[in-house]
Structure 1
Amino acid sequence: MFDPTAFDNLKTVLEGAVYDLDLEGDIVVIDRRDLVDLAHFSRMYTISFRLPSTPPPPVSCMICLEMDLEQIANELLQRSVRPGCRLTVSFFLPIRQLETCSFIESALRRIWGDKRTIRQTLSHEFPHETPGYRNEVTIEFGRLIYEDNVADLQAMIPYMTASLEQLQKFSGK
């Protein structure tokens, strides 16, 4: 048996917190991926969910937990540096007007605060007869998270569901 890495421990806590909400009916898990990249020797875990019974088009949330080669090596070689993971939270929703982006940013700043980097990436298919964009809104934390941040990780889940509720108001607008 192997000793689990910080990534494994954080992934287990994150997955448990999300699936608990799914079992309670507060969210619906729509995708999950647990990837090992052997070319870059990295790990990535994503889990995506949405609110139940939302009118179309629904907004979804994806949590991404990553650990790169440097962090994995630090842990496995028992270097004095604490191993940590990168965490990002992304939301996906369709919008029709570019002006909606500023309202989205304001809503998310009220929930997540001013210290987070909020990045919005718009895309659309060409040729596209109907106006509209796919908005990917990513919240970056600018630091690694560690095993002793488990409580913080669990405390973020209500922020994600509150964000889904707020963003649903902008979906398709």
Structure 2
Amino acid sequence: MFDPTIYDNLKVVFEGAMYDMDLDGSVQIIQRTDRVELSSMSRCFGMEAVRRQKGLVIGRIMLTASLADLAAELLSQPDEQPGCGLELTFIFPIREVEPDCAFAAKQMIDIWGDKVSVAQSIHMEYGKQPLKLENHLTIQFSRKLDERQIDDIPSLLEHFLLSLERLDQHFFTE
């Protein structure tokens, strides 16, 4: 038997909460990723979902832990803060880069507050007509998560669902 790490505990809670949202009909899980990168000894767990009703925006939750995070936890290093990184990504089509990206950024700051980092990258397939632009909006949290934030996961997932709703309402009703 082994003592589960911070990453293991958070992964189980996120996974269970996401599947609960799928069971209650809020979202449909469309992808699940669970990786161990042997070259860097890092771990990554992610789930992608869309809203069940009129959901076209893809939302992704990605939990990560590096070797340094694991070492800090297992070796109880006093100068290091063990924990996991959390990143959320929302993928949706846009028509006009400047106004659409500005709108999406404002919505995310309204929902998540100004303590998160919001980055957007625009993707397109070269040579494909008509030109289709896809926004990959990423939210990164400035601090690491640990077991002290487990009780915050339901609230975080409510914000995740609200983000999906707002982006769906704006980008798919026009």
Per the normalisation by structure 2, the TM-score is: 0.93
- Structure 2 equivalent of residue 116 of structure 1: 116
Give, in whole Å, the separation in 1 of the partners of 2:165 and 2:18. 16
- Structure 2 equivalent of residue 103 of structure 1: 103
- Structure 1 equivalent of residue 83 of structure 2: 84
Give, in whole Å, the separation in 2 of the partners of 1:140 and 1:37. 21
- Structure 2 equivalent of residue 152 of structure 1: 152
Kindly indicate whether the alpha-carbon contact (under 8 Å) linking 1:118 and 1:139 is maintained by their aligned counterparts in 2. yes
Identity of aligned residues (%): 36
Show structure 2 runs of 5+ residues with no match: none
Shift of 1:134: 1.0
- Structure 2 equivalent of residue 10 of structure 1: 10
- Structure 2 equivalent of residue 38 of structure 1: 38
Shift of 1:82: 3.9
Shift of 1:108: 1.4
- Structure 2 equivalent of residue 61 of structure 1: 59
Q: Give the letter for the 1:103 counterpart.
A: F
- Structure 2 equivalent of residue 93 of structure 1: 92
Runs of at least 4 residues of structure 1 off by over 4 A?
Answer: none
Shift of 1:5: 0.6
23-32 or 150-159: which moved more?
Answer: 150-159
Shift of 1:142: 1.1
Shift of 1:171: 2.9
String of CA shifts for 1:103-136, please: whole Å, max 9, x gaps. Answer: 1111111111122111111010101211321100
Q: Give the letter for the 1:148 counterpart.
A: R
- Structure 2 equivalent of residue 23 of structure 1: 23
Matched residue count: 171
- Structure 1 equivalent of residue 139 of structure 2: 139
SS in 1 for 2:82: coil
Shift of 1:152: 1.8
Q: Give the letter for the 2:124 counterpart.
A: H
String of CA shifts for 1:2-51, please: whole Å, max 9, x gaps. Answer: 11110000001111111111111111111111100000000000011110
SS in 1 for 2:59: strand
Shift of 1:89: 0.7
Give, in whole Å, the separation in 2 of the partners of 1:124 and 1:87. 26
